[in-house]
Amino acid sequence: MLPAKNIIEVISCLDEIIDISLAKKSRAGYFACLYRKMTIAVQNGINNGLFFDGPRMEQLDVIFANRYINAYFSHTKNTPLTASWKSAFTATGQPYTVIQHLLMGMNAHINLDLGIAAAETARGIDIQLIKKDFDLINNIIGSLINIVQQDLEEICAPMKLLKYVDNNSKESVINFSITAARNTAWANAQALSAVLPTMYDGYIVNLDRKIDVVARNIINPNFSQSMILRAVRAFEPKDVGVIIKFLSD
């Protein structure tokens, strides 16, 4: 698939992934639904003048999205992709909780891809010039994650046992914090904007390895967390298609 050139094309690509996931009843559709909502929220922000530099934020959003889209189709074609995305897509073959699947995608996409997208968007300028808009995008992401978690409580009552994902603590119930991910992404963006070109790819590979460790923590939480997640899983709908349709509304 050719890279998307604008947000409208990104949304079209995400629609295609969702349709494929529905047809195959693939859990990969969970993150695609969430990401589509995020993309539309960013698009609305650009259209409403939320950002200091709307065109540049669309550029960032498209670079960001293409990393996910490319990873998805690389996985379907069994071609190389980052370790953190490979873990996320491999996990879709297992009946983990919906929130775990969403966070596996968030881990690869925010912790790794967002920093790379920010560094590439700021290439040739001082990266601090995009910091305010970068934070605004992350505020959109964080608010949507909490909304989705609240929505999931409607189809799975034990979800109420979980704290909100972004709970301002060092460690959330399932070893993932949106706040920490945002801070990590910005730190990575700053580092990548300063690293020598000859070290750029190697730096990303090392980042990816570290981020993949977080993925393993998401799907292998500690004993008490596992017990809560087991209760959540028992009450979630068993039909993957039903969950995808719910998340896409």
pLDDT tens across 50-88, in order? 999 999 999 999 999 999 999 999 999 999 999 999 999
Helices (H), the chain: 7-24, 28-47, 54-76, 83-91, 98-106, 115-121, 131-155, 178-194, 200-219, 223-235, 240-248
Residue 175: left if φ>0, alpha if ψ -120 to 50, beta else—which one? left
Contact, 4 vs 65, CB < 8 A?
yes
Identity of the amino acid at 100: Q
Identity of the amino acid at 56: R
Band (33; pLDDT cuts 50, 70, 90): very high
Percent of the chain scoring above 90 in pLDDT: 67
Average the pLDDT over 193-209 and give the result.
93
The whole-number pLDDT of residue 169 equals: 47
- pLDDT above 50 (res 223): yes
Helix, coil or strand: residue 25: coil
Of the candidate ranges 89-93, 160-164, 207-211, the one whose mean pLDDT is the lowest: 160-164
Band (199; pLDDT cuts 50, 70, 90): very high
CA–CA separation, 122 vs 82, rounded Å?
22
Burial class of residue 153 in the structure, from the number of CB atoms within 10 Å of its CB (0-12 exposed, 13-18 middle, 19+ buried): middle
| Structure token digits, residue 89 | 């897509």
The whole-number pLDDT of residue 166 equals: 46
The whole-number pLDDT of residue 226 equals: 81
pLDDT in tens, 137-194: 888 887 887 777 777 877 777 777 666 444 444 445 455 677 788 889 999 999 999 9
- Other CB atoms within a 10 A radius of the CB of residue 214 amount to 21
Band (220; pLDDT cuts 50, 70, 90): confident
Band (206; pLDDT cuts 50, 70, 90): very high
CA–CA separation, 145 vs 215, rounded Å?
17
| Structure token digits, residue 204 | 């990303």
The whole-number pLDDT of residue 171 equals: 44
- pLDDT above 50 (res 207): yes
Return all residues near 142 (Cβ < 8 A) that are at least 6 apart: 166, 178, 179, 182
pLDDT in tens, 98-129: 989 998 999 999 999 999 999 999 999 999 99
| Bigger pLDDT: 43 vs 221 | 43
The whole-number pLDDT of residue 162 equals: 67
